[in-house]
Amino acid sequence: MVFFIFLLLCVGRLFFIQFFRSDYLISIAKKQHNQLVELEPRRGTIHDSNLKAQAFNMSMDSLYGVPNAIKNKEALINQLQPILGLERSYLTERLNRKKSFIWLARKLAPEKAERIKRLNLKGLGFMKETKRIYPNSYLASHIIGFSGMDNIGLEGVERGYDNYLKGTPGWAIFLRDARLKKLDIWEKMVLPVDGLDLVLTIDEVIQYIAERELDKAFKTFHAKGASIVVMEPHTGRILAMANRPTYDLNDHSEVSKDVIRNRAICDLFEPGSVFKIVTASAALEEKIVTEEDVFFCENGAYKVGGRILHDHKPHGNLTFRQVIEESSNIGTVKVAQLLGQDKLYQYVKEFGFGSKLGIDISGEISGVVRPVRLWSKTSITSIPMGQEVGVTALQLASAISVIANGGQLMKPYIIDSVRDTQGRIIKQNKPILIRKVISVDTAMRIKKILTGVIEEGTGKLGKVLGFSAAGKTGTAQKLEPDGRYSHNKFVASFIGFAPAEDPLLTIVVTVDEPHPYYFGGVVAAPVFQKVAGDAIRYLKGNQIPLEAMAQ
C-alpha cells in the first residue's frame, strides 16, 4: 500500500513537471547547452590613392572564461597570470563573478594564445575577433585616426566614416557540451555584413616625403608644433597632410589629446606675411596698382594710424613687385590703403578665410575674420600683412591654390571613394568649385611675382632643384596672454606651388615657435623645397623607396 502511494506521488510529480514546469526546465537546458555568439563583421580597409592598405583587420584569439565551471580558480590564475601579464586582482575579480561568460583578455598575441591552449584548462575558451592593424604606424596618423577594442572608430576618418567601415554584426547559436565547452555545431545563424572600404586621396609616398621633411624641421628648430599640407591645386585633392608631434596608431593608449588633434585643420594662428597674397591679388584684380608702380617704404619705419610699422630691413622706393618679393610691410599697407577696407575684406572672404572650406574630415574650424564694422582705426595697417586674422594651414593651402590654378577656390577633400569588398564604387568624390575668386590674368601676374620671391626675394631657400617654383614666406609674431605681440614666439611659414608654369601641387608649411631661428624663409622654405622636389620627381615617374623614418 505504501509502495502504491509512493508510485502515485511520483507519477503525479512527473505529470506536474511535464505539463507545468516543462518550459522553465527547457529554458535552463538551453542556457546550459546553447551559447549565443555575436559574429563580428570585417571592418573596412582604408587605402591610400594607390590602393595600398593603411588600416585593416587581422583575426586574433580572445580568451573567455566560464566562472561557474571552474573549481580551483586560484590554481588557474597562477597559470594564467604570468602568460597574460595582467594584475592578479583583475583576474580574481573577473573569475569570481557569478556568470557563465566573462572576457579575460581580448585579441591576444598569437604566441600567448598558443601557450594558453597548450595548458588545456577547463572553463576557458577562445573566440575569434579581429584587431585593427596600422602597417605604417605613425604615417598619416592625424588623418586615419584609430578605432577602439570593439572596432568602433574613435578618431580621424576611422571615426568620421565609422558608419561605412563598421559593417553589421551577425549572430549564431552554438551548442555546448556538458562541460560548457563550445562545439563547432550551430543551430541558427545570421551572417554578418562586412564594412565598406575607404580610398583616400592621400598618396603614401608623398605623405612619407612630407612627414620626413616636416619631422626634420620640427626637431632641428626645437619647435612646439608643425604642420604641412600638400594639395592638387586644380582639384582640391589632399595628397598629404601631417602634423608634429605625432603618434603611433598601433600604440595610442597613452597619447594626449594635444598630440592627437589635427593641427592643420583645427589650429588657429595669425598668418603673417603669407597673407600678403590676398592684398596683392585684390589690388591687381581691382586695377589699383600695376607691377611697376613705385611705393616709398619710408626707410623701414612708417607712422600711420597711431602706430609705427617696421620692415624686417629698411627699404626706400620699391615697385609693387618688389614690395611682395621683399615682403615689405610698409609697402603692403600702402597698397591696402589705396584698395580700401571694404574691398580688402571682400577678397579676404573670397579667398576662403573666416569660413569652413568643407573638407570631409571632422575638426575643421572656420578661423577668425572680423567684419569691417568691428575693425579698429589700425586694422587696415594690420590685416594686409596677416595680423588681426586667424587662419588654418588648410585655408592657406586653398588660398595659394587659387593663384596656382588660375583663380578658382576649390573645395578640399581627402576621401576619394567608398567601395565594397569586391571593389565596386559605392560613393565617388569629385572636384567641386566653390567660386571664382580672381581672373586668370591676375593669377598669372601674381604667379610671376611669387616666382620672383623664390628667385630674388625672401624665399630663396625654397628654390626647387630642376623645377621652377613660386611662393611666399611668412614670419608671424604670436600673441601673449595680455594681448601684446611676443618678441620671442613666432610662427614660421611658407606657402608655394611647383612647377610654377604648370603647378602639380601646392604646399603649405607652418612651424610653431621654432628657435633659435624663426624666419619663414629659413625654417619653412627648405621643407617646401625638399618636399616639392621629391614629390614632383615621384609624380613624374621617378619612384622613391619608402624607408623607416628615424623617430
Q: So what's the pLDDT on residue 11? A: 62
pLDDT of residue 178 exceeding 60, the answer is no
Closest Cα to residue 474, out of 489, 459, 454, 455?
459
Average per-residue pLDDT for the chain = 89
User: Residue 81: in which H helix or E strand, if any?
Assistant: helix 73-84
pLDDT reading at 107 higher than 90: no
Whether the predicted pLDDT of 342 surpasses 60:
yes
pLDDT for 428 equals 97
Backbone angles phi, psi at 29, to 5 degrees: -60, -40
Residue-wise DSSP of 319-387: EHHHHHHTT-HHHHHHHHHHH-HHHHHHHHHHTTTTS----SSTT----B---GGG--TTHHHHGGGT-
Per-residue pLDDT at 13: 61
Confidence of residue 550 (pLDDT cuts 50, 70, 90): very low
pLDDT at 126: 85
Q: 400 exposed, middle or buried (CB, 10 Å; 0-12, 13-18, 19+)?
A: buried
Task: Read off the pLDDT of each residue in 148-172 and give the average, rounded to a whole number.
Answer: 89
pTM: 0.84
Q: What pLDDT, on a 0 to 100 scale, did the predictor assign at position 216?
A: 97
Percent of the chain with pLDDT over 90: 65
**pLDDT, mean of residues 471-498:** 93
Q: What's the rounded Cα separation, in Å, for the pair 60 and 450?
A: 54
Burial track 303-340 (b if 16+ CB lie within 10 A, e otherwise): ebeeeebebeeebeebbbbbbbbbbbbbbbbbbbbebe
Active-site residue flag, 273: yes
Exactly one of 62, 141, 147, 273 is catalytic; which is it? 273
Residue 551: pLDDT above 50?
no
Please state the rounded mean pLDDT for residues 170-174.
69
pLDDT interval class at 45 (50, 70, 90): very high
Q: Is 143 helix (H, G, I), strand (E, B) or coil?
A: helix
CB atoms within 10 A of CB 209: 25
Query: Which whole-number Å values give the CA distances from 54 to 132, 144, 249, 420, in the listed order?
Result: 10, 8, 10, 16
pLDDT of residue 40: 77
Residues 377-394, mean pLDDT to the nearest whole number: 95
What are the tens digits of pLDDT across the range 271-295? 999 999 999 999 999 999 999 999 9
Lowest mean pLDDT among 15-24, 164-173, 344-353: 15-24
Work out the burial of residue 293: count CB atoms within 10 Å of its CB; fewer than 13 is exposed, 13-18 middle, 19 or more buried. Answer: middle
Considering the chain, what percentage of its residues have pLDDT values greater than 70? Answer: 88
DSSP 442-455: HHHHHHHHHHHHHH
Q: Tell me, what's the pLDDT at 24?
A: 52
Q: 495-541, pLDDT tens digit by residue?
A: 999 999 999 999 999 999 999 999 999 999 999 999 999 999 999 98
Residue 7 has pLDDT above 50, yes or no: yes
Question: Average pLDDT of 42-52?
Answer: 95
Q: Residue written as cell 565547452?
A: 181
Spell out the domain ranges in the chain: 35-66+102-200, 204-539
To the question of domain 204-539 being in CATH 3.30.830.10, the answer is no
Q: Flag the least confident range among 9-18, 97-106, 262-271, 420-429.
A: 9-18
What are the two backbone dihedrals, phi and then psi, of residue 435, each rounded to the nearest 5 degrees? -170, 160
- pLDDT score of 350 more than 80: yes
- What is the model's pLDDT at position 185? 46
The SS3 assignment for 436 reads: strand
Query: What tens digit of pLDDT does each residue of 112-140 get?
Result: 989 988 888 888 888 877 889 999 999 99
Lowest mean pLDDT among 26-40, 80-94, 182-196, 325-339: 26-40
pLDDT of residue 542: 64
Average pLDDT over residues 461-472: 95
Find all residues with CB under 8 Å of 504, minimum gap 6, and list them. 232, 498, 535, 536, 539
Give CA–CA dist 289/282, Å, rounded.
10
pLDDT band at 252 (very low <50, low <70, confident <90, very high): confident
Cα torsion angle, 537, 538, 542, 547, sign: positive
Residue 158 pLDDT exceeds 60 = yes
3-state class (DSSP) for residue 65: strand
| Helix segments in 147-247, DSSP class H | 156-160, 162-165, 204-220
pLDDT tens for 405-453 read 999 999 999 999 999 988 899 999 999 999 999 999 999 999 999 999 9
The pLDDT score that the predictor gives to residue 233 is 98
State residue 548's pLDDT score. 39
- Mean pLDDT of the region 205-211: 97
Q: Which amino acid is at 61?
A: D
Segment 229-236 shows an average pLDDT of: 98
Domain 35-66+102-200 has CATH 3.30.43.10: no
> Looking at 302-306, 343-347, 516-520, which range is the least confident one?
302-306
Kindly state the average pLDDT of the residues 39-44: 85
Q: What pLDDT was estimated at residue 101? A: 80
Cβ atoms of residues 379 and 304 within 8 Å: no
Contact call for residues 202 and 262 (beta carbons, < 8 A): no
Identify the top-confidence range among 22-26, 119-123, 204-208, 454-458. 204-208
Using a 10 angstrom Cβ sphere, with 0-12 exposed, 13-18 middle and 19 or more buried, the burial of residue 401 is buried
